[in-house]
A and B are shown apart, each in its own frame.
Chain A
Amino acid sequence: MSPEEMARFRLIEGTFRDCCLKWGYKEVRTPTLEYLHLFTSTGTLTPGMLGKVYSFLDWDGWSGERVVLRPDGTIPVARLYIDSMEGEELAKLFYIANVFIFEATGKKTRERWQCGAELIGAGSLSADAELVMLALEVLKQLKLEGIELRLSHAGLIKALLAKLGLSAEEQTRMFDRILDGDTEVLAKVKLERPELGKTLHSLLELKGKSAEFAKKLKALFAQDLPEFKPYIDGCTNIAELLEALGCDYQIDIASGRGFEYYTGVIFQFFKGEEKIGGGGRYDALIPLMGGEDTPASGFALYLDRLMNLVKPEALAKPSEQSILIRAEPQAAKEGFRTAARLHEAGYRAEFYLGVQEPADFDWTLDIQSKPPKFILTDQVKGQKVAAKTMNEVLKLVKR
């Protein structure tokens, strides 16, 4: 990343950190290199995703077991929780990490950055809503407008697939395809299976906003498909709460792009057609990885995509004054000493290397071997002042 890109990166990272800390989340960091088996069992990552990971044999890998460059942020955090925090009833954790996924076109970067937050141990409607609010707060602080929130539900998709009369393996395969972003899967099934009931048809096309829509949904299913009630409730309850909080959303059942470990509500954040983040409930992941039965949910924002969306005006200008120090060869020692003093006093001071443009700085400070030792030029006003001591210089630059 170039300095300009790093400035965007740090802005997003900093905003995300501030928001997380204010909501009481604590930062964690996990290893870049993990065991592949953390990601392989059913209910973690789909085979589609696992086919794109960077895995290899370690220098001591003669058992044939592979290690992998972390392809996801949540699973390592779940492992960290199980290994060293399991006694804690509630763990609110956040991370800023890179993940590695092969991308065949070579147009997108294969190392991607994520800002993620995980809420382990709560498993309530409020917990899910808190994560959505936190994500939206970050996006708002970054002055991104027109963010669309789409809601779906992993349990509802699974129940639907079961209802389609598919074998267990087919169900898993289709669920994985939906998670990998194939939005056509359900539509295709609908075409191929005209005998499906009217209710199921309408569910496949489920799209809509507002609590009114949610209420209608509830009524429809209570009557025709009572077994779907818990999932519909899971979806509509959070929708109602978010609406009460003044949050816009869209329910879109067929678009459940995400991770195989999701069990409940899935939320995705879009800016236009671009997905900039997502998350959901994953109650089964921690027990699946050998931990205790612990509910959890989390989300991640895609830092690389946000970097392209942040407006230049959102980038904070460095607030400190900048000083270019030009020392005569005999006064070089004095020049470096002066730079150190200025840094201590909170200024940005650079040593002149024959290339920098004085106009890019607030001040230039010439250091001479003969008195007056210092000549300070105000680049903004174009005024020159001489000074004998460092203290005088400090007084002068303090505008």
Chain B
Amino acid sequence: MINNLKIALPKGHLLAQTSALLKRAGWGLGGYHEQTRFYRIKSGGFPRLSARVFHERDIPIQVAIGNYDLGICGLDWIEELLAKYPSSALLKVKNLRYGEGALYVAASPAEGVSTVEEVRAKPGTIRIASEYPNLAESFALNLRLRRFGVFPLWGAAEVYPPESADLALVSGTTEELSLYGLVPISRGLNVNAFLIANRDSWKAKNMNEIMSSVEKALIPESVRPRPAGEKHPPMPEIQYPAEEAAKDVVRLALPDGHQQSPTLRLLNKAGIRLDDYPSAAGNRRPTADLPGVTIKVIRPQDMPLQVANGNFDLAITGRDWLREHLYQFPSSPAKELVDLKSGKVKIVAVVSQDLSVADVRDLRELNAERAAPLRVASEYVNIADKYARDNHLSLYRVIPTWGASEAFLPEDADLLIENTQTGQTLARHNLKIIDTLFESTACLIGSSKRISSSIKRESTKSIIKILRMAVEEI
């Protein structure tokens, strides 16, 4: 029997080597390269095979839920899924022997801990920051930490210790760790690229031909070149605020990524000069001519949780991410202080043009008639979950995504909760908006908890004031 096969392929750091491997294997995936603008590619070598390009983190989930028969991604993301869902329908089929790396539990020497024993002996709750929250929890359990909390992150875990977290679980090399000013406490997991399969597809479908093509294309262990150590631009020395002054210092979080330029414009307008933001060297601790303020650059997605935790006093993020946080934690102290009015997007519910659905009521009726659960894909899992709940979409499941969500419809999801500026990208992907949830702009957020230091209270107030004035001028 001839079955069609679908494979999920990675973007990012594994792309070049995966593409080279599949070329040697004769798959004929012409569109799969660094500059690719296509998400779906047909195989020239194996007519019944088609591929789709994903963020690496999406791949184990897509294979486990059966949207894809095969996938290629790093072992870190496979184990991250299995740590939480050990009975996932996921098979590790083949170690592809490239993309080597490791996960480390790391701390800052400034914290005075460099061994597991020292971490264990620390009083209070050990805070662990990581893009791998499930693995972080397993590590904490295995290290027998008495009491711990895990901050799930979208990125930049390395910048959290020592002030914003005690430990970070990060992927990289020991050299990279030392560049970040961190020391490894425990080496967690050796990471390699893996070929994975959905368990049911593996049993039901004939994959011999495809498997042997990959087998033949693998570079033998003996002739593999050792990866040369990458060169990194030197990082500026990290200056931590002195301990006794720390309680008076305002900790400000600024966004990385595409929100950097509007943020910089606004801060400049407010008369604040920043040094090394955005940073070409990847420096995440820029300085400003604001006395009594320290700055860290983190992901806007992670900011509301960090403000709720008291790790930051002020942060510039989007209202969408604040809502996402508040839907998960309704009594959180994180709140909007100033609407910065830039980066306006709408958060919308989106379906394929091909679906004869005009609004959410149609969708509810359609969903009531089908047996399979409605697949709701979103970067905003809590907003998506609440939307599905509030609209009584009876049987549904939320599939978390990490970017390029518009390419999920129609094959890999039925409904998308996504942000859009003009709607053009959605239209280009043959999608239509059936509902608008809310509008989001950049905003300054802070905590509703009272600040005990009067010095800090005054500095916070003055920052809020100058930002509010800068916004009104625009």
Taking Cβ atoms with an 8 Å cutoff, the residues of A that contact B are 37, 40-42, 47, 50-51, 57, 59-66, 104
Contact = CB atoms under 8 A, between A and B. Distances in A.
Interface string B113-155: 0000000000001011000000001101110111111111000
The 4 A-B pairs at the shortest CB distance, nearest first, are namely A64-B149, A41-B146, A37-B147, A62-B308
- Most B C-beta atoms less than 10 A away, residue of A37, A60, A62: A62
B149 A40 contact: no
- Most B C-beta atoms less than 10 A away, residue of A57, A64, A104: A64
B421 interface: no
21 contacts: A40-B141, A40-B146, A40-B147, A42-B144, A42-B146, A47-B144, A50-B141, A51-B86, A51-B138, A51-B141, A59-B331, A60-B329, A60-B331, A60-B332, A61-B329, A62-B332, A63-B149, A64-B151, A65-B125, A65-B147, A65-B148
B305 A62 contact: yes
B83 to A, nearest CB: 8
Interface residues of B, number: 29
B234 interface: no
Nearest to A58: B329
A41 B126 CA distance: 12
Contacts of A66: 137, 149
Contacts of A61: 329
Given A51-B138, A57-B328, A104-B87, A63 B144 contact: no
A95 to B, nearest CB: 25
Contacts of B151: 64
Contacts, number: 60
Contacts of B138: 51
A323 B318 CA distance: 69
Interface string B64-102: 000000000000000000000011000000000000000
A177 B148 CA distance: 24
Contacts of B308: 62
A62 B148 contact: no
Contacts of A60: 329, 331-332
Contact of A40 (B148, B150, B328, B332): B148
Contacts of B86: 51, 104
Interface of B: 86-87, 125, 127-128, 137-138, 140-142, 144-152, 305, 308-309, 325, 328-332, 334
Contacts of A65: 125, 147-149
A230 B177 CA distance: 48
B185 to A, nearest CB: 14
A172 to B, nearest CB: 8
A60 B333 CA distance: 10
A66 B141 CA distance: 12
A328 B60 CA distance: 67
A64 B144 contact: no
A60 B146 CA distance: 21
Nearest to B138: A51
A47 B142 CA distance: 6
Contacts of B128: 64
A59 B325 CA distance: 11
A66 B134 CA distance: 12
Contacts of A104: 86-87
- Most A C-beta atoms less than 10 A away, residue of B128, B138, B148, B305: B148
A37 B149 CA distance: 9
- Most A C-beta atoms less than 10 A away, residue of B144, B328, B332: B144
A229 B144 CA distance: 30
B304 to A, nearest CB: 8
B127 A64 contact: yes
Nearest to B116: A169
Contacts of B152: 64
A37 B128 CA distance: 14
Given A40-B146, A47-B142, A47-B144, 19 more contacts: A40-B144, A41-B146, A50-B141, A51-B86, A51-B141, A57-B328, A57-B329, A59-B329, A59-B331, A60-B329, A62-B309, A62-B325, A62-B329, A62-B332, A62-B334, A63-B309, A64-B150, A66-B137, A104-B87
A47 B331 CA distance: 32
Nearest to A53: B141
A222 to B, nearest CB: 35
A175 to B, nearest CB: 13
Nearest to A42: B144
A41 B119 CA distance: 13
Contacts of A57: 328-329
A152 B2 CA distance: 58
Contacts of B328: 57
Contacts of B331: 59-60
Contacts of A51: 86, 138, 141
A37 B137 CA distance: 12
Contacts of A59: 329-331
B145 A40 contact: yes
A37 B146 contact: yes
Contacts of B334: 62
A65 B305 CA distance: 13
A29 to B, nearest CB: 25
B144 A41 contact: yes
Contacts of B309: 62-64
A312 to B, nearest CB: 36
Nearest to B334: A62
